[in-house]
């Protein structure tokens, strides 16, 4: 049996191609069920915004690969898949690839966590469809386990890359913590909302929000802020709010400064400002005012680049773990070639037991208890006969295991290795 993966990802295809190659849940079900029915193949499909991957395990793997390729070409439409966008990996390369994907090592953002839950969901759907069997079940479970091990031992996901998170954490570091501090946020777009979430997690004394020149866009936003215990401030009152805060975060989409040095005036107490906007929300001259410390996107980007470099270094260490785990899996997979022979031996023993019991009951009259005792003795004897050969067969590696399995198959005329 061969395992493999075919697909496209952010590394090989643009968003337009990835969009065409994406599987809905119902399409994934149909595709996996088709491979099972037509080729007796195992399959699992992972489909996210950044990748569409078809994992398979099959004896007739070349035909399966051809069928998967046809599916992708059909999804791509006229002109088919652009050259180089569809990749194919088999054997150890495929096992290593899935383990890297699950651990976030193959993601746009190295070490991101979301992909692990997507891998688990993809496998769960395949289990529902009964398309994932012994080979892929083991591969996906091992990959999830490997990803968790990498994350727990290397902490690759703990180095932040998001602008909002790094910005808030930088303020926390400079302020020596936000407990007892008053915070103000100007701007409630995507970055502003994320910043607010991270800000609240630091438990400041109070948080006020200036939504922007036009105020809050809808009632839902206003209700949400009230539920969080957050006060809102009118845009024209922002300088008054700044005068009473210790920490200020600006994250609007304004083309002009929303905080001017001439309007801010002097400060008697320390003020930390994080400007997350491009163009800048805060007049750079503000940073020269006494008791004011101004940080901007350049400071955040420097930390993000440093963290990204650390993640890349940790990813290299994680590769060693992946290689080891993939090797262990492939050795296990190689030994599964003996399973049909072992199954046939067990079936042959069961048939001999039934035949022997039938002969005994024709010759000797036994009550129910005596029959159970005789049946147990026959089963035990037959198991003892094959136990040692089976155990040794399981301990052998790939080619050796196959060689001896076929030898047993030939000796007992089991018919498992015909045509090989």
**Same structural domain for residues 33 and 143?**
yes
Segment-wise mean pLDDT, segments of 10 residues, the chain, 420 residues: 94 90 94 95 94 94 94 89 94 96 88 90 97 96 96 83 86 94 92 90 92 59 75 92 96 91 91 93 95 93 84 89 94 76 80 88 88 89 81 69 71 65
Residue 63 lies inside a defined structural domain of this protein: yes
Give the residue from 251, 278, 303 where a domain finishes: 303
Task: Note down the domain range covering 367.
Answer: 336-412
Judge if 196 and 244 occupy the same domain. Answer: yes
CA distance 48 to 290: 50
**Residue 55: closest CA among 70, 42, 37:** 42
Same domain, 172 and 148: no
Nearest to 401 by CA among 321, 316, 312, 341: 341
Q: Which of these is catalytic: 49, 245, 406, 417?
A: 49
- Three-state DSSP class for residue 295: strand
Instruction: Examine the residue annotation and report whether 146 is marked as an active-site residue of this protein.
Output: no
Judge if 225 and 238 occupy the same domain: yes
Looking at the fold, whether 271 and 237 belong to one and the same domain comes out as yes
In a domain, 363, yes or no: yes
Q: Are residues 231 and 359 in the same domain?
A: no
* 147 and 172, same domain (yes or no): no
Instruction: Output the pLDDT for position 57.
Output: 96
What residues are paired with 203 via a beta bridge?
none
Q: Is residue 101 domain-shared with residue 167, that is, in the same domain?
A: no
**Is residue 314 in some structural domain?**
no
Q: Which CATH number goes with the domain that contains 139?
A: 3.30.460.30
Does 419 map to a domain? Answer: no
- For residue 13, CA distances in Å to 48, 53, 86, 344 come to 13, 12, 8, 46
- Is 263 in the same domain as 391? no
* 327 domain residue, yes or no: no
Q: Are 119 and 49 within one domain?
A: yes
Among the three residues 158, 187, 207, which one is the final residue of a domain in this structure?
A: 158
pTM for this predicted structure: 0.67
C-beta separation of 300 from 273 below 8 A: no
Q: What CA–CA distance (Å, rounded) separates 291 from 167?
A: 19
CB 216 within 8 A of CB 280: no
Please tell me the predicted confidence (pLDDT) of residue 220: 47
Q: Is 186 helix (H, G, I), strand (E, B) or coil?
A: strand
Kindly state whether residue 187 falls inside one of the protein's structural domains: yes
3 state DSSP class of 283: coil
DSSP 259: B
The total number of structural domains in the chain stands at: 3
Instruction: Taking the CA atoms of 352, 353, 357 and 358 in sequence, report the sign of the dihedral they define.
Output: negative
CB 264 within 8 A of CB 242: yes
Q: 290 and 240, same structural domain?
A: yes
Q: What is the pLDDT of residue 328?
A: 92
The predicted structure's pLDDT at residue 63: 94
Q: Is 22 inside a domain boundary? A: yes
Is 317 within the bounds of a domain? no
Q: In this structure, are 85 and 29 located in the same domain?
A: yes
Q: Could you give the C-alpha distances from 246 to 24, 120, 210, 315, in angstroms and in order? A: 49, 44, 15, 38
Of the three residues 138, 158, 178, the one that is the final residue of a domain is 158
Looking at residue 184, which CATH number applies to its domain? 3.40.50.720
């Amino acid at each position: 049996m061969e395992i493999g993966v075919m697909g496209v990802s952010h590394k090989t295809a643009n968003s337009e191609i990835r969009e065409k190659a994406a599987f809905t849940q119902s399409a994934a079900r149909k595709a996996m069920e088709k491979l099972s029915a037509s080729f007796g193949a195992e399959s699992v499909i992972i489909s996210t915004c950044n990748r569409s991957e078809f994992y398979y395990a099959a004896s007739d793997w070349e035909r399966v690969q051809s069928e998967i390729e046809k599916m992708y070409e059909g999804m791509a439409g006229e002109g088919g898949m652009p050259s180089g966008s569809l990749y194919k990996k088999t054997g150890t390369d495929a096992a290593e690839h899935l383990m890297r994907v699950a651990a976030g090592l193959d993601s746009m953002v190295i070490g991101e966590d979301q992909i692990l839950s997507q891998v688990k969901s993809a496998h769960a759907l395949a289990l529902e469809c009964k398309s994932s069997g012994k080979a892929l079940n083991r591969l996906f479970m091992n990959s999830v386990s490997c990803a968790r091990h990498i994350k727990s031992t290397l902490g690759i996901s703990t180095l932040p890359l998001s602008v909002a998170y790094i910005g808030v954490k930088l303020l926390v570091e400079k302020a020596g913590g936000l407990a007892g501090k008053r915070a103000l946020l100007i701007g409630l777009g995507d970055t502003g909302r994320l910043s607010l979430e991270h800000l609240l997690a630091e438990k400041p004394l109070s948080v006020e929000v200036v939504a922007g020149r036009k105020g809050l866009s809808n009632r839902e936003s206003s209700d949400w802020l009230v539920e969080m215990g957050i006060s809102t401030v009118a845009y024209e009152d922002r300088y008054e709010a700044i005068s009473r805060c210790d920490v200020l975060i600006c994250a609007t989409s304004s083309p002009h400064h929303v905080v001017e040095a001439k309007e801010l005036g002097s400060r008697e107490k320390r003020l930390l400002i994080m400007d997350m906007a491009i163009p800048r929300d805060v007049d750079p001259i503000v940073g020269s005012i006494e008791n004011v410390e101004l940080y901007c996107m350049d400071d955040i980007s420097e930390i993000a680049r440093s963290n990204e470099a650390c993640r890349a270094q940790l990813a290299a260490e994680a590769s060693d773990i992946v290689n080891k785990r993939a090797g262990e899996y492939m050795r296990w997979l190689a030994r599964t070639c003996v399973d049909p022979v072992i199954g046939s031996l067990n079936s042959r023993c069961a048939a001999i037991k039934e035949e022997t019991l039938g002969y005994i009951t024709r010759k000797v009259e036994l009550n129910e208890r005596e029959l159970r005792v005789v049946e147990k003795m026959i089963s035990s004897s037959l198991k003892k006969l094959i136990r040692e050969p089976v155990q040794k067969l399981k301990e052998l590696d790939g080619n050796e295991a196959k060689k001896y399995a076929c030898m047993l198959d030939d000796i007992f005329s089991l018919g498992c290795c015909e045509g090989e």
